[in-house]
Amino acid sequence: MVYRRSPAACERARQSKDEVLRAARTVVAAEGMAGLSMAAVAVEAGVAVGSLYRHFPSKTDLVTELVRSTCEHELAVLRAIATGADEARHGGHEPDRGSERLAAAVSVFARRALSSGRVAYAMICEPTVAEAELLRRTIRAEMATILAGIVADGVADGSFPAQDALLAGLALVGAVSEVLTAPNGYAIAGDHDQLVESIGAMALRSVGAARVTA
């Protein structure tokens, strides 16, 4: 007879897994990827190290899932802006021009990254396991695709001149990521509000927006 866990047991398991991931994010926020270990996560979660292996067979599995779950959430935020779902959810009006959506998408991504402190650096570029590195490439490609869709809409509505939208999306991902993770700490010092505004303006200039405010 095959044993099947009850819905309540499945929910408890899911919650336990989420708690482990939250603990792992806390460790990364304090110590970076270099400080992420099963022992450190177990201490943060208040559980025995052995219990972590019920959810993640290895540290590689934990790190990969941490990157995936964290970045997927950010991608969902970008998709909502790209489709206007974010505006609708907050009772606003859907941006009707590509320029508005591009500025919003890039600015929101930058602001959320800056507010996360060390976590953003860890997710974007800090050295980690090979599996997570490969996953990062997929996530960056997905982000570029989302931005490319916004650029294409902007070309269609006259916000931007004709161009290779995917190339623009890839370039924007690279440029914004570089600013947010620059080794000289540029994104850490100074006024985050001004930096976010400047990043949004840079994105618009890079795709040839007719009107740029900064």
Burial 72-95 (b: 16+ CB within 10 A, else e): eebeeebbbbbebebbeeeeeeeb
pLDDT band with cut points at 50, 70 and 90 for residue 189: low
Q: Are residues 44 and 103 in the same domain?
A: no
- pTM given for the model: 0.83
Q: What average pLDDT score do residues 153-178 get?
A: 95
Name the domain count of the chain.
2
The whole-number average pLDDT for the span 83-94 is 55
Tell me the mean pLDDT in the region 75-93: 72
Distance CA 60, CA 130 (A): 9
Q: Is residue 154, in this structure, part of any structural domain at all?
A: yes
Residue 118 domain boundaries: 60-206
Give the pLDDT of residue 210.
Answer: 79
**For residue 63, which of 138, 134, 140, 142 has the smallest C-alpha distance?**
134
Other beta carbons less than 10 A from residue 56's beta carbon: 20
Same domain, 89 and 112: yes
Q: What is the pLDDT of residues 21-51, one digit of tens each?
A: 999 999 999 999 999 999 999 999 999 999 9
Residue 32 lies in a domain: yes
Tell me: do 181 and 121 sit in the same domain. Answer: yes
Q: What is the pLDDT of residues 108-130, one digit of tens each?
A: 999 999 888 789 889 998 999 99
Asked whether the predicted pLDDT for residue 104 surpasses 50, the reply is yes
What is the pLDDT, as a whole number, of residue 90? 45
Q: What is the DSSP string of 120-153?
A: HHHHHTS---HHHHHHHHHHHHHHHHHHHHHHHH
Same domain, 190 and 100: yes
